[in-house]
Chains A and B, each alone.
Chain A
Amino acid sequence: MNRGALRAFVVKELRHILRDRQTLTILLLMPLVQVILFGFALRSDVRNVRVAFVDPAPDYATVALEARFRETTRFVVVSSGRTMSVVEPLFRRGDADVAVVFEPGFAEHLRGAEPARVLLVVDASDPNTGTVMQNYARAVIASYEQELPAPKGALRIATQTRMRFNPTLESVNLFVPGLIALVLTLVSALMTAISLSREKERGTMEVLLVSPLRPVQIIVGKVLPYLALAFANVVTALLAAWLVFHVPFRGSVLLLLAESIVYALVSLALGVLIAARTTSQRAAMLGAMLGTMLPSTLLSGMIFPIASMPGWLQPVTNVIPARWFIIIARGIMLKGVGLPNLWRETLILCAMAVVLMAASVRSFKPRLAS
């Protein structure tokens, strides 16, 4: 019926958003900063491993091995001593990561029949890094061992590895799709919930109610500007990822944008639903954080792989929209697959959108009436 009223309402809502420069700046900057942080600073590879040597009786072999460690760019030698007692405080203060402990008579054993022994002591308080550092150290020792006169007749199976979809193992490639989900959730769900509940808190919702606008129109008017904002955010994040970090775009960009809109609708519906159930801004914020932000970051596979989660938690992740969106986004961007491979995930997302939107419109009406 009254198209004009809806338009006026959308314009009013846009002015609200545009007037609050501070929030707007943050909303527009956030995806950029995140992409840049994720791209430059967050690396899961391990560099500058600090190594300490414990060599009770230095001989040519141990000196040669130490030199090997010094030559690599991965290791930084921080201390070299005769006894273990020097190393322990280093570990406790966090000044050393790996200690290489030689047995006395290392070179002698190397010539004899018995194997020469080395002990690697690794700071494993971070299990991931610990494992990686240990593997690096083993590789250095193995390369030294291989240059010694080789045993005859040993069998070798050469493994040739191909890393598909992300050959350089860049973590930014993995994070960008998740980041889009996070930004969409933040803008759509959190902002909508707060903005709606602010009208409630201030009593302006009643004014809206007695206006000729229908509840659905109020929701649409509230949601449209945020949808636009979310869309702008997705585009900036994608551009930054593409221009600065050369994140691959193997699939259809149009499909990705379309899926983003579906996901944004799911989040917006959640935001409206939360706002309808709460009465204050703080409650809405709390609900939005607990109900959308937290699960979308932790349980979506964005940062932590779902396959690593405990068995009881894995089925829970199925109800989280971000999980499906991230599968879709990664599939399109990194694998270059299209709907034939992603129809199931897309269908789930669409179903969630329909159900949640119906629920949010329904729950909004009686709340307004009461």
Chain B
Amino acid sequence: MRTLRFLLRKEFLQIFRDRLMVLQMIIMPLFQLLLLASAATFEVKSAKMYVVDRDHSSASRGLISRLQAGGRFVLAGASSSMSVADEEMLGRRAAVIVSIPADFERDLVRTHMAQVQLVMNAEDGATAGVTQSYAAQIIASYAREIGVSIAPAVREGPSIEVRSRGLYNAELNYRDYMVPGILVQLVTVVGTLLTAMNIVREKELGTLDQLSVTPLGTGVFIAAKLIPLWLIALLELSLGLLVARFVFHIPMRGNLLIVFGAAGLYLIAALGIGLFVSTLASTQQQAMFVTFFIVMIYLLMSGMFTPVRSMPVWAQWMAQLNPLKHFIEIMRAVLLKGAGVTDVLRPLAAISAFGAVVLTLAVRQYGRRIA
């Protein structure tokens, strides 16, 4: 126990003496959090609209001004030539082309039915889909509205009124959803990368060999390496939560103790991965790349950016073995939904199991490498 205490002191001194390390641990994650929280949004604010109006009627003009009214569509230009519009789209000056054929108004009055063509720049499929549904909604409501003036028919069929309520994030704020995930990412990168690099550096400098000929047990050495980083990662999480609370006003509906408890368990898994990588790598460069590779795959498959349930079945099974996915799930459930311990038992168990397995494997591998 006494040796552990000395070793811990040495580790802490070593970490905090190194300005660069402190910078890497504190400034970079916070910088990343600020940047990511601002940049990471799929929210579609407004689309540049190019109008090809061949009808020039009050109905077509009404439709255009209706599209602009909500602020979702900004007029980028208008002409009566489709090829000009096409050129604008290729030059990225227009994202949507709204084409209104001649006789639009006449058709509406005579047959109660008219055509409008939308051409979307679908390079980014998701954005195009959302923009299109906005346009369709606006056009449909416009049709209902002018129906009253053009054909005041009595509405007599049955109708269903659908109302909707968004739970947990009523204003559909993307940031509220992303920030808990970003925090998990930061803690993971700091924990895994620093563990791997820290141990490999001792290897590179040759001090690991020196340590291995001292009477220190492997367990004590590993504990002395991991405990400071574990604490630092938790500190990191606290700082991140503070920023999330006071800069981004992320709701924290649940008990923060659950968050920290889960983080403590999760970090065992994250640091375990770092330890495992350190046994494989012989240079810091290698350690960094291997960690990067693993964390990247974990991150992409974690459901942070795209929902896990949209993935193919094999990927969903892979996601079950992904501690990041479970921790992100817990963070979101506790912070946004106010979930209690009983609600997150399943992911908690998964994290603990993963942590136990990874740490055992890593320690065994480490022992084998040193011996």
Chain A residues at the B interface, C-beta cutoff of 8 Å: 20, 22-23, 26-27, 29-30, 33-34, 37-38, 40-48, 89, 91-94, 110-111, 115-131, 134-135, 138, 141, 144-145, 148-171, 173-174, 194-195, 198, 280-283, 285-286, 289-290, 294, 298-299, 303-305, 307-310, 313, 327, 330-331, 334-335, 337, 341
* B129 close to A169 (CB less than 8 A): yes
Q: Are A335 and B169 in contact, with the CB atoms below 8 A?
A: no
Determine if B329 is an interface residue (Cβ-Cβ < 8 Å). yes
Residue in contact with A334 in the complex, picked from B91, B123, B136, CB distance below 8 Å: B123
Is B153 a contact partner of A154 (Cβ separation < 8 A)? yes
- Write the chain B residue with the least CB distance to A121: B165
Complex Cα spacing A127 to B36, Å: 17
Contacts of B117 in A (CB 8 A): 159-162
Contacts of A44 in B (CB 8 A): 42, 125-126, 306, 310
Closest residue of chain B to A156 (Cβ to Cβ) is B113
How distant is A239 from chain B, measured CB to nearest CB, in Å? Answer: 20
A286–B40 touching, CB < 8 Å: no
Interface presence of B231 (CB below 8 A):
no
Contact A158 B113 (CB under 8 A): yes
Measured CA separation A309–B38 after assembly (Å): 7
Give A195 to B301 CA distance when docked, in angstroms: 30
Say whether B257 faces chain A, with CB atoms less than 8 Å apart: no
Chain B interface residues (CB < 8 Å from chain A): 20-21, 23-24, 28, 31-32, 35-36, 38-47, 63, 89-92, 108, 112-130, 132-133, 135-136, 139-140, 142-144, 146-147, 150-151, 153-170, 172-174, 176-177, 197, 280-281, 283-286, 288-290, 293, 296-297, 300-301, 305-307, 309-312, 315, 329, 332-333, 336-340, 343-344
In the bound assembly, the distance between CA atoms of A42 and B302 in angstroms comes to: 10
Chain B residues closer than 8 Å to A129, beta-carbon distance: 307
A121 to B157 CA separation, bound complex (whole angstroms) = 26
Chain B residues with CB below 8 A from A283, complex form: 20
- Contact partners of A116 in chain B: CB under 8 A: 158-161
Query: Considering only CB atoms, which chain B residue lies closest to A47 in the complex?
Result: B310
Q: How far is the CA of A116 from the CA of B155 in the complex (A)?
A: 15
Given A94-B333, A130-B169, A157-B108, A307 and B126 touching (CB < 8 A)? no
23 contacts between A and B (CB under 8 A): A22-B286, A33-B297, A42-B300, A42-B311, A110-B160, A124-B168, A127-B43, A127-B166, A127-B169, A152-B154, A153-B147, A157-B139, A157-B142, A159-B115, A159-B118, A163-B122, A169-B125, A169-B128, A170-B125, A171-B126, A280-B20, A290-B28, A303-B40
Cβ A308 vs Cβ B310 within 8 A: no
Task: Report yes or no: A40 in contact with B315, Cβ–Cβ below 8 A.
Answer: yes
Q: Is the CB of A41 within 8 A of B312?
A: yes
User: Which of A120, A131, A294, A313 interacts with B162 by CB under 8 Å?
Assistant: A120
Partner of B172, one of A124, A153, A174: A124
Contact B166 A166 (CB under 8 A): no
Question: Which of A127, A149, A313 is close to B38, meaning CB atoms less than 8 Å apart?
Answer: A313
| Complex CA–CA separation, A162 to B154 (angstroms) | 34
For the complex with contacts A23-B285, A159-B115, 12 further pairs of A-B residues with Cβ separation under 8 Å are A92-B343, A126-B169, A128-B126, A134-B166, A138-B162, A154-B155, A156-B112, A156-B114, A161-B117, A299-B39, A305-B124, A313-B38
Most buried by B among A37, A122, A155: A155
A153-B153, A155-B143, A155-B144 in contact; A37/B39 too (CB < 8 A)?
no
- Whether A48 lies near B285 (C-beta < 8 A) is no
Flag if A151 contacts B300 (CB, 8 Å).
Answer: no
| Cα–Cα, bound, A289→B295 (Å) | 15
Residues A167 and B153 in contact in the complex (CB < 8 Å), given A124-B166, A160-B115? no
Q: How far is the CA of A110 from the CA of B157 in the complex (A)?
A: 9
| Contact yes or no, B161 A117, CB < 8 A | yes
Known A-B contacts A280-B20, A294-B35, A335-B123; A155 and B165 likewise in contact (beta carbons under 8 Å)? no
Contact partners of B336 in chain A: CB under 8 A: 125
Docked-complex contact A160 and B116, CB < 8 angstroms: yes
Chain B residues with CB under 8 A of A170:
125
Contacts of B309 in A (CB 8 A): 46-48
Closest 4 A-B residue pairs measured CB to CB? Answer: A153-B153, A169-B125, A124-B166, A151-B157
Decide if A171 touches B332 in the complex (CB within 8 Å). Answer: no
- Let me know if A330 and B169 touch, CB within 8 A: no
Shortest distance from the beta carbon of B1 to any chain A beta carbon, whole Å? 32
A154 and B147 in contact, given A164-B119, A174-B124 (Cβ under 8 angstroms): yes
Residue of A nearest to B340 (CB): A92
The distance in angstroms between the C-alpha atoms of A34 and B296, with both chains bound, is 9
* Residue pair B125, A171 in contact (C-beta under 8 Å): yes
Whole-angstrom distance from the CB of A27 to the nearest CB of chain B? 7
A162 proximity list for chain B (CB < 8 A): 117-120
Q: Give Cα A26 to B280, complex, Å.
A: 13
Using known A-B contacts A164-B120, A307-B45, determine if residue A126 contacts B157 with beta carbons closer than 8 Å: no
What is the chain B residue whose CB lies nearest that of A303?
Answer: B305
Please indicate the chain A residues that have their CB under 8 angstroms from the CB of B92 in the complex: 327
B42 touches A148 (CB 8 A): no
- For A299, the chain B residues whose CB sits under 8 A away are 35, 39
Return A42 CB to nearest CB of chain B, in Å: 5
Contact A134 B143 (CB under 8 A): no
Given A130-B169, A334-B123, A304–B306 Cβ distance below 8 Å? no
Contacts of A282 in B (CB 8 A): 20-21, 24, 197, 284
Q: Which of B165, B168, B307, B310 contacts A120 (CB 8 A)?
A: B165
The contact of B28 among A22, A159, A286, by CB within 8 Å, is: A286
Q: Is the CB of B89 within 8 A of A164?
A: yes
Q: Are B130 and A23 in touch, CB under 8 angstroms?
A: no
- Asked whether B312 lies within 8 Å of A131 as measured between CB atoms, the reply is no
Closest B residue to A286 by beta carbon equals B24
* Cα A26 to Cα B166 with chains together (Å): 43
Q: How far is the CA of A303 from the CA of B312 in the complex (A)?
A: 20
